Amino acid sequence: MKHIYLIGFMGSGKSTVAKRLGEKLNMGYLDIDKAVEKSRNKKITSIFKDEGEKAFRSYETTSLKTNGNTPIISTGGGIVEKEENIKWMKDTGIIIYLQTSFKVIKKRLQKDISRPLWREDEENKDLYKRRTAIYERCADYIIDCDTSSLEEIIDEIIKIYRYKGKTEGEK
């Protein structure tokens, strides 16, 4: 079986979806951000502050490539910033973009101080626009998360996984 990689902007629900999907399918899941925090023994905000974004992106790539057989992977919002990561995900799994509007994300993150790249409104919009183009380009599937409930999103991913998630030899 291939991995299911969940991509999308911060606040799009990747971690929540991965956890619920894992429960429903009785499969393991990995949150890349949490894996980085565990491996470095510090919060992402501290990594950004002490070591910078470049160091974080390097740790993120390492966590991505050492996920073992964990079938469901919740990525960080910036995982697509490195072409190397996109290629790895394409080669080892299915990339599902949890498409969420800026308006919904802004509402979800308005009081969240744990996100080092969530800044002033215009900077957020620019980052959102830039990354959205990358998400759309590299995604195998796009799920509209503004108009779907959590269970509808999970059901859609299960359909995709059952249809496309198996390797050619397993079909």
Cβ atoms within 10 Å of 78's Cβ, excluding its own: 20
Integer Cα distance of 47 and 51 in angstroms: 5
3-state secondary structure of 93: strand
**Mean pLDDT of the residues in the chain:** 87
**pLDDT above 60 (res 72):** yes
Q: What is the pLDDT of residues 98-133, one digit of tens each?
A: 999 988 887 777 665 455 555 556 667 888 899 999
Q: Which fold has domain 3-165?
A: Rossmann fold (3.40.50)
Please tell me the predicted confidence (pLDDT) of residue 170. Answer: 44
Domains of the chain, residue spans: 3-165
Mean pLDDT value of segment 140-146: 95
Question: Above 90 in pLDDT, residue 87?
Answer: yes
CA 109 to chain centre: 16
Distance (Å, whole) CA 71 – CA 1: 8
pLDDT of residue 122: 65
Give the integer Cα–Cα distance in Å for 22 and 74: 11
**Which tops the pLDDT comparison, 28 or 117?**
28
